[in-house]
């Protein structure tokens, strides 16, 4: 049996992507939409207030492509808190006009491949990586991934020293982009359909392409990595939710027109 490296875990993470049911949204009057937006903004403002407290993190994103419209990103110290968040969001009036598009449940993870041997309680830098604030960048990129187990290669059968060397080389590429891209890796074995989630943050989405393109040539990816769908989001302040959901006056529904 191949040696399994020890992992250390930090905050729990929930990515939640929704589509707006624009047809149903247009049927509401401006007053109805305003009330629904007000309730949602109040809820998200409460979520946003956790940033910087050390008790978790929150961010709201507009998603590009037809994979979704809105993404909420939540970090919390306990898994049960994310269950509560999902339940709270389901009770918002806005949820009646949102359709589930994608969600991912995982936990921030560091492996011992890179000799992470310090106690996070005594190492502030390590603790910060495990309890990571969401960077205040303009864009994020999320994708799930597996280590491939095909006919020719199997990551989980590989000797631990070879895996350690591969991950060291993989990390060297990431460090080249450290001043432009922040990466958070979350583990999801036994938690979701993929084995890891990768979330990248940058002020220019071009760096997502450049970083991932270069990493595809690295053996840790070219031989062993299997990638899931990619979700790209643009950071949205809570106050911008009203602008995002606003409709042109000529799109107001029958109730708005008194019909």
Catalytic sites, residue numbers:
143
With CA atoms as reference, report the closest residue to 224 among 159, 165, 163, 143: 163
Residues 119, 88: Cα–Cα separation, whole Å: 35
In this structure, how many other beta carbons lie within 10 angstroms of the beta carbon of residue 230? 15
The residue behind tokens 């960048």 is: 137
The alpha-helical segments, DSSP class H, found in the chain are 22-26, 30-48, 79-90, 124-130, 160-176, 206-216, 219-222, 241-245
- DSSP letter assigned to residue 208: H
**Do the Cβ atoms of 152 and 222 come closer than 8 Å?**
no
Beta bridge partners of 56: none
**Do the Cβ atoms of 13 and 105 come closer than 8 Å?**
yes
In this structure, how many other beta carbons lie within 10 angstroms of the beta carbon of residue 249? 8
**Do the Cβ atoms of 50 and 219 come closer than 8 Å?**
no
Six-digit token string for 17: 């992507």
Residues 111, 115: Cα–Cα separation, whole Å: 8
**Do the Cβ atoms of 111 and 6 come closer than 8 Å?**
yes
Six-digit token string for 141: 């990129």
């Amino acid at each position: 049996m191949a040696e399994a490296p020890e992992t250390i875990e930090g905050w729990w993470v929930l990515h939640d992507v929704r589509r707006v049911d624009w047809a149903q949204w247009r049927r509401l009057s401006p007053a109805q939409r305003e009330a629904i937006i007000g309730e949602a903004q109040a809820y998200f403002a409460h979520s946003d207030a956790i940033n910087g407290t050390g008790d978790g993190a929150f961010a709201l994103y507009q998603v590009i492509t037809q994979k979704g419209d809105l993404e909420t990103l939540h970090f919390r110290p306990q898994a049960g808190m994310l269950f509560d968040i999902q339940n709270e969001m389901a009770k918002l009036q806005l949820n009646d006009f949102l359709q589930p598009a994608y969600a991912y449940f995982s936990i921030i993870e560091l492996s011992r491949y890179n000799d992470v041997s310090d106690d996070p309680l005594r190492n502030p830098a390590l603790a910060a990586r495990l309890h990571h604030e969401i960077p205040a960048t303009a864009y994020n990129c999320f994708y799930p991934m597996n280590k491939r187990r095909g006919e020719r290669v199997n990551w989980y059968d590989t000797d631990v020293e070879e895996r350690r060397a591969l991950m060291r080389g993989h990390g060297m590429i990431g460090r080249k982009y450290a001043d432009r891209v922040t990466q958070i890796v979350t583990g999801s074995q036994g938690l979701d359909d993929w084995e890891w989630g990768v979330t990248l943050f940058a002020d220019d989405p071009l760096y997502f392409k450049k970083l991932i393109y270069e990493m595809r040539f690295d053996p840790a990816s070219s031989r062993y990595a299997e990638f899931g769908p990619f979700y790209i989001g643009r950071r949205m302040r809570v106050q911008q939710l009203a602008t995002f959901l606003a409709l042109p006056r000529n799109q107001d529904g029958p109730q708005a027109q008194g019909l």
